[in-house]
Amino acid sequence: MDRRNFIKIVGFGALTAYLTGCGISAVNDNEEGVAAHDSVSGGRSLNIVLINGSPHDEKQSTSRYLAQRFAEGAEKSGHKVFMFDAANSTVNPCRGCDQCGMDGACIFEDDIEKFLMPKMLKSDLIILVTPLYYFGMSAQLKIVVDRFYSRSTKLGGKKTMLMATAWNSSPWTMDALKLHYETIARYMNWKDVGQVLAIGCGSRKVPELIKFGDMAHQIGLSL
Ligand SMILES: Cc1cc2nc3c(=O)[nH]c(=O)nc-3n(C[C@H](O)[C@H](O)[C@H](O)COP(=O)(O)O)c2cc1C
């Protein structure tokens, strides 16, 4: 398998991260120590939108920790990061009224429509961040994802990433979430550029979370 197309890194016991496509420059410098040139950004400053689905606060949240470490790295490298806090924003679930026609304004003039959607439409990279809830994304994040319906076509073709944390450390812990995300990506014609799936990381006290955080940071640095 071409290592530029798919790299699976397993180490540190419960550590699992997937970097696909161009994101590999984060951890795989070539023999000369020069980062792979097929980077996500191609050397440009990216507009990144990060949607966080954890209700936990900054000090408590494990998934927000990954997001923050990633954002620190990305900003250091000159990219702009907009974070949307799905759990603490005014959001409404899609009512399926079809007023948007899958290509226009939503009937809800809430924080998704006013603040998130304009940023997403202009973004180069969208990152879904979630704690694992019953082996899927949190309801807080799912509400936002369902609202992508209003701009299904315009959000097509974006580069995307998934970051998640879970208490369980069985190797199959993230399987359902990963499949769901990859299925959405397939339907939306998204290019998945990386996944940080932190199993066995149910609290901020778990030392392995730092290693996943380091990885998220490194990915942000080397987009
Ligand atoms: C409602 C709920 C459902 C959960 N379901 C799962 C699960 O299915 N598998 C798992 O490994 N952990 C599960 N957890 C644990 C969380 O995924 C884990 O504690 C995570 O680190 C929390 O992330 P956060 O601090 O960013 O919110 C669940 C926690 C809650 C509150």
Using a 6 Å cutoff on CB, does residue 82 contact ligand 1? Answer: no
Q: What is the pLDDT of residues 152-167, one digit of tens each?
A: 999 999 999 999 999 9
- The answer to the question of residue 7 being in a domain is no
Q: What is the pTM of this model?
A: 0.89
Distance from residue 124's CA to the centre of ligand 1 (Å): 29
Residue 17: what pLDDT? 64
Angstrom distance (rounded) from CA 7 to CA 145 = 27
Q: Which positions ≥6 away from 11 have C-beta within 8 Å?
A: none
As given in the structure block, the two tokens for residue 218 are 């490194």
Distance from residue 132's CA to the centre of ligand 1 (Å): 5
- The answer to the question of residue 9 being in a domain is no
Domain total for the chain?
Answer: 1
Domain, as residue range, for 85: 15-22+44-221
- The answer to the question of residue 1 being in a domain is no
Phi and psi at residue 179, in whole multiples of 5°?
-65, -40
Place of tokens 């940080």: 196
* CATH code at position 177: 3.40.50.360
- The answer to the question of residue 86 being in a domain is yes
Distance from residue 62's CA to the centre of ligand 1 (Å): 10
As given in the structure block, the two tokens for residue 82 are 């907009």
- The answer to the question of residue 3 being in a domain is no
Indicate the top mutation candidate among 16, 66, 88, 133 to test ligand 1's pocket, ranked by most ligand atoms within 8 A of CB. Answer: 133
Distance from residue 216's CA to the centre of ligand 1 (Å): 19
Using a 6 Å cutoff on CB, does residue 133 contact ligand 1? Answer: yes
Angstrom distance (rounded) from CA 1 to CA 10 = 16
- The answer to the question of residue 27 being in a domain is no
Using a 6 Å cutoff on CB, does residue 167 contact ligand 1? Answer: yes
Type of residue numbered 165: T
How large is the average pLDDT for residues 85-101?
98
- The answer to the question of residue 182 being in a domain is yes
- The answer to the question of residue 111 being in a domain is yes
Q: What is the pLDDT of residues 130-155, one digit of tens each?
A: 999 999 999 999 999 999 999 999 99
Angstrom distance (rounded) from CA 128 to CA 130 = 7
